Structure 1
Amino acid sequence: MTQRLLIAAWSVALAAAAASMAFVLTSNHEDDPAARAALIVGLGLVFVGCGLVAIVRRPENRTGMLMALVGFFWFLSALADANNRVVYSVGIALSLLVYGAFAHLILSFPTGRLETPRDRAIVLLTYFDVTVVQWAWMLTRQHIGSANAPCPDCPDNVFAVTHEHALSSSLLTLQRGVGIALVWAALAVLYRRYRNATPAARLTLGPVVLTSAVTIVLIAVMLVLAWISESATHTINWFVLVSFATVPLAFLVGLLRTRLQRSGILRMIVESPDELSLREAELALKDALGDPTVRLAYWQDDVQGYVNVRGKPFVVPEDTPTRVTTKVDYGDKPVAALLHDRALLEDPVVLEEVIGVIRMGLEKDRGERALRATEIRSRALLEAIPDLMFRISADGRYVDYRAPNEFDLIESEVIGKTVWQRLPEDLADEFMTAGRRAIAERQVQTIEYQLGFGEGVRHYEGRIAASGDDEFVLIVRNISDRKLQEQELQASRARIVAAGDEERRRLERNLHDGAQQRLVSLSLSLRLAQTQLQKNPEMAEQLLESAREELAQALEELRELARGIHPAILTDRGLDAALEALASRAPLPVEIEQPTTTLPGPVEAAAYYVVSEALANVAKYADASSVRISVAQMNGAALVEVSDDGVGGADPAGGSGLRGLADRVAALNGTLEVESEPGRGTTIRAEIPLG
């Protein structure tokens, strides 16, 4: 409900209160007009006011609307004090509606909805009793009176059509009997609801059940006394009216008491300077929510799941009629899970506030724990961090710094100086622009730059983050090694392209100088043989034999070329046979250890060329007596190892062969290592991911 509608509703209530007061105070048949006016106006305004507060607090709940409706029905009852017979008769006809709305209110609390058929039947019968039965009774009685007592000054009932005393008494007895039965039925419902409620739900139900039960009992007493004593009935009616006033206050207590208590206690937990253990935090939540069944679980990234306060895995259970689990997230990241009483769902505003406080509290708890842990081991941790760290004010002055190695500083004097005094002007301006942007936008800024030192140029990455409203933190990392790796990567890619170009040129030369020349010679021999077939058959036969030999040599050269591009044996018979072929051509003994496994095609090719290049290097440089080849799978990768017992001393950067192998393996996200101490042989080890 919008603020304008709330103001309008309250204005209507004030107008109705004023009209009610006017009817009562000017009544010529009211014994104590001042007291009755005060009660009617007070009750009406209390119910309407409390209802509007409830609407503001919980707009999705109908309880506030029902409470306001009870208040407006109280105002309607003042029409029975009018001196005009028509207005008086209408007031008597509507005077009992407040009891129907009251039954509707207490039986629908706390959701504002009648949950069971039994509740709906009680409310429906109550409305029937106070309307249809009341109106039927009014048709049979011309002089009604006031508050079940004779009233000689009261106006006549304009709705009376007959004066059958027996029928009137029967209808009145029926109305009172049904009313007494409904009163006890409502009491039974309230008692059963409170008895079956969980401890958390009783916090809300308790005040309402108590005050409603007292009011209902007084109504029952009044209905019973109506058969015994009219004066006693008139007296107890005042107590009924007074007891009514306690009900809306109890409703507000039910709606607001737990909200205030939970908010206050949870904020006290969050703001507490003392460190709470996880177990203590759970106990505090139990007290705050009034729910001893609360269980708190924290999200752990390393296990990708929740753990309870004892550090044991916590599996989120399925919701039940009494208990549910509410997950607490921070952004898109899970933070915690709260297993609690379902009654908390009846107040989504409070639940959202509890979730928010838990979220902030847990994040604060995490931050404070991390801060305390950092304070305990900060010195050792800072010593291990290689980055430079500077605190810089918004005007560009160094406030504090941390340098693991003073050699990394351009100047040893830092604190008190400005960035323009220590850095090139353009770079200082860039830092300050990024720093002010970080403070304004609360986002990390990144700058890469380079500085000249005596030994050369160093590359740095600066990360800038706000550390307050008037300062920022600059973390500087030396990325010269990364830049070198990037350059090596670019050089590797260039070498791969150059190697591909060179390989194509080699194939072109080999085809031109070898197979192509032989095929041309073969073509000439065949033409000569064709011209000699008739003239000199013997010469033709010699030419054909020569052509056959040329053809055989051309085919062999083409096979050699194809083997250099991709070994056919690797495609036809697999890695085992290909490695056996390589070993058979080696000029020294080769031992192969390879389990019978199947590797992806690109991985098999890379493994083959690693072994091929390694064997070629052994034959050329190692002066070894034996070679051992091992191919295995481990942790989702193929491990290829070639070791010899030669002289060692191989330099991976000294030749293009091993660099080409490293590029080939790196193209598959693999790594190539060379161990070659002088006099201890050489081991080439490649690790190539399978996927």
Structure 2
Amino acid sequence: MTSALPAQGKAPVRAVTVVSLIAATTAVLSWIPTWEAEFALGTIYVFVVTSFAASGVFLLADRSTGRTGWAMIVAAFCYEASWWWTWPPEWEIGPAPLISFLFGYWWFAIGGLALLRYPEPVLSRRYERAYFVYFAIWIVGVKLFIAAVSKPEWAGWNEHAWWLTIAPNRALFDATAAVFKIGVIVLALLLILLLLLKIRRSRGLERADSLPASAAGIAIGFLGSFYIAAQLFHLSKPVTDALRTITALTALIAPIAFVISLTQRRLARSSVADLVVRLADCTSLKDVQSALREVLGDPTMLLAVPASPAHYVTCEGYPLTGEELARWRVPVPAGNGGTVALLLVDPALRRRADLVRSAAVAAGLVLENGLLRDDLAAQLAQVQASRRRIAEAGLAERRRIERNLHDGAQQLLLRVMSSLSLAKHRAQRGRDPSDAIETAGNDLDEALAELRKLARGIHPAVLGEMGLQPALEGVADRLTIPVTVDVTAGRLPDAVEETLYFVICEALTNVIRHADADSAEVRVTQGDGTVVALVTDDGHGGAGFEGGSGLAGLRDRVETLRGDLAIATGGDGTTITVRIPCG
């Protein structure tokens, strides 16, 4: 059947029709003995068998989900066999009862395997594979054991049906049958847990793909457990029949979920056309990266551009980390067959390789039209200006330290030397040098205090020892306006913590000098691998990066850590927002 499937992934109408007709015909024939008594349930039964088989063919049309398609087709015929127990005794002859008894539960196991695996070609976790090995052993091994210690009539079949009776024991049969049902209930609940774990760890397109199938599996596992429990505890026939009907209806969710996921895939492919339109309006590489992230559903995707023939950087100009380089690399093709850029994509998107490569081609068209050259030129100018500001800030800082040393500690140390010389002179002439020594000691204490103050300005000890909250509270206590400090972030990498400290201190200094504010507030929070700091004041506003503002230097310092600094200002005050990745 797979040879008839076209490579582009469109489900062959002829194959779907043929398999659906076969499944529907065998289901109708299987229900012949009970159509009159159970017409509504029989209709549901036929729809479940047919939809399972048809969705299997649709899945076969996608090479990445072909195995899941075969699982759904097998599950369809196992589901069909699972209902043969409703036949009247005169139909329950030959091997059919034994086939139904041994393989009826396989529809749940194989269907659960398909739901948990989709859209991956194989189970990705060792514990998932172990789960289905135990499941298979349970429903095959225990069923064989039950058949060996029972007679067909004990299991509700015609006494003349084929059976595997070896050593019939009614008490052992009843106990084993109850244990089997309890085990199936436990396995069904474990399937729900595995599906919930899968939803939790998935994201983006992967979650959109798997969510319908996972939700279907959860519903089937939950309601199927109730139905088996009703049988185990011998609830009244109306309750058992109602649960049986609801479970049959729930089984319809699985093929519907697969059709929904396949439809989503086709819609995602068509979104590449919308991507081309969006990319045409992009004016920077960051805009291109943002558009690609949205279409691919991967918020961590990176657009890497060449800094040299063999070296790539992010579209912001930063070097790539080892973790980023370990991602799936998708070339953005140029018209001459070369590579104009790289997409660094979540490896989970390999299953959507056609979509990712189509998006890469669309991005290549835009980048080749001059955007890459223009944006890199603009980035180079920004980097050069940023480096110049950082160099100037470093030079200014060194001059400040030199000036403070010259005007403060150096002068005090010269006075200490002068006092000690005077004390020595007095001692040589037999005079009391204690006054001069005391003066030298006082000057030395003052020099030490000046050096400690200077050292705190370079790197405060309290920051390294206790963190941002105490360090910023110490700064706030020395300011002339009330400042509220609220730091909920934990300890951060040293470079991040130090940068935040100095940026916040400089921002508060600007508030005191220029904002004419009555109060200020500092908040530092952390989440999703990013730390966010806000410095807010109630001054007259007007802060900005223009005209050589010191805020431009702060922005440069933040950007060296791949962060960003933004200013929101107006007549009711200014808010400076700093975001730095720290995951």
TM range (shorter): 0.5 to 0.7
AA of the residue aligned to 1:288: V
Give distance in 2, aligned partners of 1:160 and 1:306: 68
Cα distance, 1:230–1:339 mapped onto 2, change above 3 Å: farther
The reply on whether 1:133 has 2:142 as its aligned counterpart is: yes
State the Cα distance separating 1:179 from its structure 2 match.
0.9
Residue 22 (structure 2) pairs with residue 21 (structure 1): no
Aligned to 1:239: 246
Structure 1's 319 and 250: CA in aligned 2 closer, same or farther, altered over 3 A? farther
CA contact under 8 A between 1:326 and 1:339: conserved in structure 2? yes
Per-residue CA deviations over 1:460-493 (Å, capped at 9, x if unaligned) read xxxxxxxxxxxxxxxxxxxxxxxxxxxxxxxxxx
Whose helix proportion is higher, 1 or 2?
Answer: 2
Give the number of the structure with larger relative contact order, counting CA–CA contacts within 8 Å between residues 6 or more apart: 2
Which runs of structure 2 are paired with 1:276-425 in the superposition (5 Å)? 276-277=282-283, 278-299=285-306, 305-310=311-316, 312-315=317-320, 317-318=322-323, 323-330=327-334, 332-345=337-350, 347=351, 350-367=352-369
Q: Is 2:206 the counterpart of 1:201? A: yes
Cα 1:213–1:355 change in 2 (3 A) is: same
3-state SS in 1 of match to 2:252: helix
Aligned to 2:490: none
Task: Give a deviation string over 1:140-165, Cα, whole Å, max 9, x none.
Answer: 143257xxxx79xx675431636633
Mapped to 2, the partners of 1:121 and 1:233 lie a distance apart of 32
1:11 equivalent to 2:15? Answer: no
Matched-pair contact (CA < 8 Å) for 2:288–2:363: no
* Distance (Å, rounded) in 2 between the aligned partners of 1:39 and 1:279: 52
CA distance in 2: counterparts of 1:74 and 1:19, whole angstroms: 12
Residue 92 (structure 1) shift? 3.0
Matching residue of 1:636: none
The offset of 1:166, in angstroms, is 1.2
Shift of 1:319: 6.4
Instruction: Measure how far apart 1:74 and its partner are.
Output: 2.2
Q: 1:109 to 1:12 in 2, by over 3 A?
A: closer
Q: Check 1:64–1:19 CA distance in 2 against 1; reply closer, same or farther (3 A cut).
A: closer
Partner residue, 2:3: 2
Answer yes or no: is the 8 Å Cα contact 1:267–1:357 preserved in 2.
no
Q: Is the 8 A contact 1:299 1:334 kept in 2?
A: no
Q: 1:222 aligns with which of 217, 224, 227?
A: 227
Pick the aligned partner of 2:178 from 156, 173, 180: 173
Q: 2:93 aligns with which of 85, 91, 96?
A: 85
Residue equivalent to 2:162: 158
Aligned AA (1:293): T
Alpha-carbon distance in structure 2 between the residues aligned to 1:185 and 1:361: 43
Q: Which residue of 1 is the match for residue 256 of structure 2?
A: 249
Deviation at 1:287, TM superposition (A): 1.6
Q: CA deviation at 1:170?
A: 0.8
Report 1:361-510 matches (<5 A). 361-367=363-369
Contact 2:52 2:73 in 1 (8 A): yes
> Cα distance, 1:338 vs. partner?
1.3
Q: CA deviation at 1:276?
A: 1.1
Structure 2 partner of 1:265: 271
Within 1, Cα distance between the matches of 2:248 and 2:138? 20
CA apart distance, 1:193? 2.4
2:190 matched to which residue of 1?
Answer: 185
Give, in whole Å, the separation in 1 of the partners of 2:186 and 2:205.
31
C-alpha change, 1:156 and 1:8, in structure 2 (3 Å) is farther
Q: How far off its partner does 1:298 sit?
A: 3.2
How much has 1:217 moved relative to structure 2? 0.8
CA distance in structure 2 between the partners assigned to 1:254 and 1:4 by the alignment: 19
The corresponding residue for 2:561 is: none
Residues 261, 288 of structure 1: 8 Å contact kept: no
Q: CA-atom RMSD, angstroms?
A: 3.4
Contact 2:332 2:364 in 1 (8 A): no
Counterpart Cα distance in 2 of 1:369 and 1:50: 44
Structure 2 gaps of 5+ residues are 7-11, 376-583
Is the Cα contact below 8 Å between 1:137 and 1:168 reproduced in 2?
Answer: yes
Q: SS of the counterpart of 1:112? A: coil
Selected match of 1:98 from 96, 100, 107: 107
Structure 1 residues 207-231: Cα deviation after superposition (integer angstroms, max 9, x where no partner): 2222211111111212222232152
Q: Say if 2:152 is the partner of 1:142.
A: yes
Cα 1:370–1:119 shift into 2, 3 Å: closer
Given the alignment of the two structures, is residue 121 of structure 1 paired with residue 130 of structure 2, yes or no? yes
Matched position secondary structure for 1:315: coil
- Partner of 1:546 in structure 2? none
| Distance (Å, rounded) in 2 between the aligned partners of 1:256 and 1:319 | 31
**Equivalents in 2 of 1:318, 1:340: separation in Å?**
11
> Sequence identity, in percent?
17
- Call closer, same or farther: CA 1:186–1:320 in 2, change over 3 Å: farther
For 1:177 and 1:212, the matched residues in 2 are separated by 19
CA gap 1:12/1:209 in 2 versus in 1, 3 angstroms: closer
- Cα 1:76–1:226 change in 2 (3 A) is closer
Q: Deviations over 1:533-584 (max 9, x none)?
A: xxxxxxxxxxxxxxxxxxxxxxxxxxxxxxxxxxxxxxxxxxxxxxxxxxxx
1:187-215: CA deviations, max 9, x gaps? Answer: 22222222233444322222222221111
- Provide the rounded CA distance (Å) in 2 between the counterparts of 1:269 and 1:111: 26
> How far is 1:308 from its partner?
3.1
Amino acid at match of 2:29: A
Distance across 1 between alignment mates of 2:242 and 2:206 = 36
Which protein has the bigger strand share? 1
Tell me if the contact between 1:318 and 1:324 (Cα under 8 Å) persists in the aligned partners.
Answer: no
When normalised by structure 1's length, the TM-score is 0.47
Give the conservation status (yes or no) of the 8 Å contact 2:142–2:180: yes
Q: Work out whether residues 152 and 159 of structure 2, in 8 Å CA contact, stay in contact via their aligned partners in 1.
A: no
Whole-Å separation in 1 of the counterparts to 2:69 and 2:277: 33
The structure with the largest alpha-carbon Rg is 1
- Residues 109, 366 of structure 1: CA spacing in aligned structure 2 closer, same or farther, 3 A cutoff? same
Cα displacement string for residues 639-689 of structure 1 (whole angstroms, at most 9, x for unaligned residues): xxxxxxxxxxxxxxxxxxxxxxxxxxxxxxxxxxxxxxxxxxxxxxxxxxx
Contact kept in structure 2, 1:141 and 1:157, CA below 8 Å: no
Q: Secondary structure at the match of 2:100?
A: helix
User: Deviations for 1:246-287, whole angstroms, at most 9, x for unmatched residues?
Assistant: 112223333441x33433333112134952132222222222
SS in 2 for 1:26: helix
- Unaligned stretches of 5+ residues in structure 1: 374-691
How much has 1:18 moved relative to structure 2?
Answer: 0.7
Distance 1:317 1:132 in 2: 48
Q: Secondary structure at the match of 1:293?
A: coil
Verify the 8 A CA contact 1:319 1:325 in the aligned structure 2: no
**TM-score between the two structures when normalised by the length of structure 2:** 0.55
Once the 2 structures are TM-superposed, how far is the Cα of residue 357 of structure 1 from its aligned partner?
A: 3.1
Q: Say whether the 8 Å CA contact 2:16–2:54 is kept in structure 1.
A: no
> Deviations 1:590-645 (Å, cap 9, x if unpaired)?
xxxxxxxxxxxxxxxxxxxxxxxxxxxxxxxxxxxxxxxxxxxxxxxxxxxxxxxx
Q: How many residues align?
A: 358
Offset of 1:24 from its aligned partner? Answer: 0.4
Alpha-carbon distance between aligned partners in 1 of 2:256 and 2:183, rounded to the nearest angstrom? 28
CA deviation after TM superposition for structure 1 residue 39, in Å:
2.3
Cα distance in 1 between the residues matched to 2:261 and 2:18:
26
SS of the residue 1:337 aligns to: strand
Q: CA separation of 1:367/1:155 partners in 2, compared to 1, >3 Å: closer, same or farther?
A: farther
Question: Hey, what's the Cα distance between the residues in 2 that align with 1:268 and 1:8?
Answer: 32
